[in-house]
Structure 1
């Protein structure tokens, strides 16, 4: 069984598990299915705006698909969430990617 199917199976029993959704989104990126990845990241962040790790991944995905303004918005939201969570590492990572994109 492939990784995507395993994650989908796990999500059947734990449909609200953000870690599983995040992992599944990363797998979709690996197989070049940005629409499914984006949908999962947006679902995670809509329901759990404190799930800091997904901001970077969503913004980077948007950046790669040519949606610069949306990417900037998600980097900004991520920096706010990381600051609120006290996650300095995530904040610096988001800030660096943001600055690379903006400047």
Structure 2
């Protein structure tokens, strides 16, 4: 919880910092609080669809919680965003996870 509290403290001064929100979401995933993590990942991606690092983690979280249709949608959005950004590495990760789920 100490890391969570530190990240929350940092976010007080920069509440729209995607990196800090993403880091906080990952901490919530670590402790099994998928609801809080999901809210943060969705907030990041709804406000900044170019923040490609959160697509994979949000889709995996949804997949883990048996929200397959929604996970597929986020994988697809992520693949489109990474393709647009020219981020082949992230695209390949998303595509691999997507194919594992769909096929």
1:24 counterpart residue number:
24
Question: How big is the shift at 1:18?
Answer: 0.1
Instruction: Tell me how far apart the structure 1 counterparts of residues 62 and 86 of structure 2 sit (CA, whole Å).
Output: 25
Q: Does 1:63 align with 2:63?
A: yes
1:72 Cα deviation from its structure 2 partner: 0.3
Q: For 2:99 and 2:46, locate their aligned partners in 1 and report how far apart those are by CA, in whole Å.
A: 24
Which sections of structure 2, spanning at least 5 residues, go unmatched? none
**2:12 corresponding residue in structure 1:** 12
Give the aligned partner of residue 40 of structure 2. Answer: 40
Unaligned runs of 5+ in 1: none
1:80 is displaced (CA, Å) by: 0.1
Q: Report how far residue 5 of structure 1 moved.
A: 0.1
Q: Distance in 1 between matches of 2:54 and 2:83?
A: 15
C-alpha distance in 1, partners of 2:23/2:61? Answer: 14
Which 10-residue stretch deviates more, 1-10 or 19-28? 1-10
Superposition RMSD in Å:
0.8
Equivalence for 2:3: 3
TM-score, length-scaled by structure 2:
0.99
Please state how far the C-alpha of 1:32 moved relative to its aligned partner. Answer: 0.6
